[in-house]
Amino acid sequence: MKKLICVLLIVVAMTSLLAGCIGAFKCDGCGEDKFGIMHKEEVMGEEFTFCDDCHKELEELKDMLG
Ligand SMILES: [Zn+2]
């Protein structure tokens, strides 16, 4: 059981490194205070911070726009 928790922690740490940072932040997409994975995106020369949900929506939008 301890081994499983250890593996899970490593996976979470690696995912957070790949996706961005984990912490408390205000999402520019929905305007809510969030705690979790932070995604930084540059939109028209300005940097925005998005929560996981908004980031997914943004990616879908980007796909739609091509
Ligand atoms: Zn959001």
28 and 50 in contact (C-beta within 8 Å)? Answer: yes
Q: What is the pLDDT of residues 23-51, one digit of tens each?
A: 899 999 999 999 999 999 887 899 999 99
Among the listed residues 35, 44, 64, the one whose alpha carbon sits nearest the alpha carbon of residue 52: 35
**Ligand 1 centroid to residue 14 C-alpha, Å:** 22
**Ligand 1 centroid to residue 22 C-alpha, Å:** 14
48 and 54 in contact (C-beta within 8 Å)? Answer: no
**Ligand 1 centroid to residue 10 C-alpha, Å:** 26
Q: Name the pLDDT band for 2 (thresholds 50, 70, 90).
A: confident
SS (H, E, C) the chain: CHHHHHHHHHHHHHHHHHHCEEEEEECCCCCCEEEEEEEEEEECCEEEEECHHHHHHHHHHHHHHC
